[in-house]
Amino acid sequence: MRIENISIRKALTMGFQETTEVEIETKKGIVHSLAPINKNGIYKIKSHSPEEMETEFLEIKRHFVNQTFDNIEEVDRFLHTLDISVDFREIGGNLAFAISSAFVKSFAQWEGIKVFEYLTKKPQLPMPLLVVSDKRKTETDFKELMLYPVQKKLFSKSVMQLVDVRSNLELNKSMTNEKVLKALASVTTKNSLHLGINFGAGDLWNTRRYTYSTGENLIPQEQLLLVQDIVKNYPVGYIEDPFHEDDFVSFATLTHRLPTRLVVGNELYSNNSERFERGVELKSTSGINISPARMGTITDMTRLIEKAKKHKIATIIQDEINDKLISDLAAGLGADYMKLGMDNVSINRINE
């Protein structure tokens, strides 16, 4: 596939956050892909601002225009030669992902197929996890609260049911942690749903204790007991980031004690392959949240999912760039779950 032109421009996400958009033109047409937005962290792929991405893009553009690429693996290897750092600090992981994802769309367009078909001959539809509340909607200590079906069924039907339930929830900023959990628990049984909690415990951790708005200051052992108590009293099946990002041992203890629940590492792994391998060795989690904003390339994402599947660890892809591509990746790469955010739910997915 020969690249006629590749360009970049400023763009806005559905949440009106400024980012950049990569455009690739071939003889078969034009595709676009947004750069994801991600906060930088110790273990994360480095993200650049829109201005930085534009500057870096001008320096690497010449390597793509009028060049021929055969597949996405070749493109992604080339991106890693342009930036040999382990965290894409030179060109930015979000710019690298925008380029990589634009290319995967172009390859699919070139072959006249859907993106998920380019990735696999046997797509697997994920289970939807819908965020129904976060810290913007209520002033609870939980980062996100989610609902998802007890049993896997038609994806679009499940999403529509979840959206309908969410639209009828009566949540407000004055509600306490307990009141929000009770409100969500009340809709789970009659709708055959499970409750998911993203504790976002790293935001509660002050290097010594977990500090809650209720005045509680919990040491790790007390945080462990709190999480277990919540799971005991509410229909919680999904538990994300219940401890801070360096506490592999507490994660492992909780995973061992709650074998029928999905204990998920997000900040714990930050999509860092070495940290994930450590988690596998310690049996820290039964699930991993795989965020495009922290991957760098489609191939990096593919390999991490393959590694998780090898160790029978559930994979969750998070929709955070407001792009149908995420649905194609979730199905094409065989993710077990797909987390849909508060701002938008695109149901223009895959024909089922």
Same domain? 146 vs 107: no
Q: What is the pLDDT of residues 260-279, one digit of tens each?
A: 999 999 999 988 889 999 99
Q: Is residue 290 part of a domain?
A: yes
Asked whether residue 120 is assigned to any structural domain, the reply reads no
Nearest to 76 by CA among 123, 119, 124: 119
Statement to judge: residues 217 and 246 lie in one domain: yes
Both 141 and 85 in one domain: the answer is no
Is the model's pTM score more than 0.85?
Answer: yes
Report if residue 194 sits inside a domain: yes
Closest CA to 246 of 219, 223, 278: 278
How many domains would you assign to the chain?
Answer: 2
Helix, strand or coil, per DSSP, at residue 301: helix
Q: What is the CATH number of the domain that holds 176?
A: 3.20.20.120
Q: Are residues 294 and 254 in the same domain?
A: yes
| Residue listed under structure tokens 């690739």 | 24
Element housing 281 (H / E): helix 273-282
Q: How far apart are CA 327 and CA 143, in angstroms?
A: 23
* Residue 3, C-beta contacts closer than 8 angstroms, at least 6 positions apart: 24, 25, 26, 64, 65, 66, 67, 68, 69, 106
**Residues 131 and 108 occupy one common structural domain:** no
**pLDDT, tens digit (0-9, with 9 covering 90-100), for 92-147:** 999 999 999 999 999 999 999 999 999 998 888 899 999 998 877 777 899 999 99
- 8 Å CB contact between 309 and 331: no
Query: Which range of residues forms the domain containing residue 31?
Result: 5-113
- Whether 187 and 315 share a structural domain: yes
Domain final position from 66, 88, 113: 113
User: Region 177-206: what's the mean pLDDT?
Assistant: 93
Q: Are residues 142 and 37 in the same domain?
A: no
Of 66, 85, 113, the residue that ends a domain is 113
Both 79 and 175 in one domain: the answer is: no
Mean pLDDT, all residues of the chain: 90
- Residues 28-84 have pLDDT tens digits of 999 999 888 777 667 778 888 889 999 999 999 999 999 999 999 999 999 999 999
- Residues 74, 155 within the same domain: no
CATH code of 91's domain: 3.30.390.10
Single-letter residue type at 17: Q
